[in-house]
Amino acid sequence: MTTTSADEPVSVMPIMNMVYGLWVSQTLVTAHERQVFERFAERPGMTPADLAGVLGFEERPVEQLVTCCAALGLLERDGAGYRNTPMTDRYLLRGSDDYVGGWVEVVSRHDYPGWLRLDEALRTNRPTAWDSERRDSLFDDTNPVVVETFWEGMSAISRPTARELARAVDLSAARSLLDVGGGGGAYAIELCRAYPELSATIFDLPFVCDLTEKKVKQAGLGDRVSFAPGSFFTDPLPAGQDVVLLSMILHDWDIDQCRAILRSCYDALAPGGRLLISELLVADTKDGPLDATLMSLSMLVETFGRNYTGAEYRSWLLDTGFTDIEVRPFAAPAANGVVVARKPLNS
């Protein structure tokens, strides 16, 4: 037996937990899709038999699902029955302010099929979540159902991330922010809420701007958040910005494309303006953290990009002409830090 020392055997449990990963995710996905948590919100204390009656299923499979949800911390005992945990009530009930179920749906419907063909992506160096022979990118899909699900899911994990970003970077002196690829509107909305003097422009594909406009209106920010439809590969970005934001954008593209996007952002900034790159940053040593490396592997099945390191961003930014580059770490669903860079005043 392999050991870490003469007295301490190496545990097999980390490997077993990796094997169980699919089981865990499918438990959450199935319970969410069957609206199990909404049912318990309506009737706390239901037994598995009660829930089976509501769903129209037999008791045995429902009991197995419920007990597994309880073991995962999604449900808790309530007398003879069960109820939602505070975490579930906050994040998995449709309509709640912090609802992240949209991301659960995106991962289930779009990511998982590609992940199940991970070996193919590894062999071919091509995405497996969509047909790269027929489309230019993941974002070309104009199927209304697919598109709305994707952007709703992105908004779900972007809202809490944007709040953390607002605390990590002081934008109190900024008056204009350009959110490049800001479809869904979460960052523009949350940053404008955090900084009342700030106005934002969302630059994204025309159909994405159309989808996002209603979210901005619902947030009551139609007078402070505007739209500039276009493609950052073919159209110039609106110029004269105090701040330009790239959030979960660069990981979708290869290195040359990332450099091109950074040049466009540089041109869009006013002298002295700042660029913010909010991402799940891979460690410079390329041995973690797990969320960033998993997202990077997800980019193998979803895009032609990957998640990059802070050192890589620093090098590209310096080449582009940026100065005062720093990485500010934080913890959030869609980012573990932000790279901040400044356009020189004399540029």
Q: Which helix (H) or strand (E) holds 63?
A: helix 59-71
Q: Tell the residue number behind the tokens 């193919």, with chain if given.
A: 120
Residue 227 bridge partners (DSSP): 202
Residue 118, both tokens: 């991970």
DSSP 125: -
- Go through 185-223 and write b for each residue having 16 or more CB atoms within 10 A of its CB, e for each that does not: bbbbbbbbbebeebbbbbbbbeebbebbbebbeebebee
∠ at Cα 161 (195, 73), nearest 5°? 135
Q: Give the residue among 102, 98, 94 at the shortest CA–CA distance from 42.
A: 94
- Considering Cα of 29, then 32, then 33, then 34, what sign does the dihedral take? positive
Show Cβ contacts of residue 284 under 8 Å, excluding neighbours closer than 6 positions.
Answer: 309, 310, 311
Q: Which helix (H) or strand (E) holds 275?
A: strand 269-279
CB 182 within 8 A of CB 160: no
Q: Could you give the 3-state DSSP secondary structure of residue 237?
A: coil
Q: Give the residue among 257, 271, 306 at the shortest CA–CA distance from 286.
A: 306
Q: Give the residue among 139, 338, 151, 149 at the shortest CA–CA distance from 253.
A: 139
Q: Single out the catalytic residue among 251, 274, 306, 343.
A: 251
Active site residue 251: yes
Residue 5, both tokens: 């020392």
Report, as residue numbers or ranges, the catalytic residues.
251
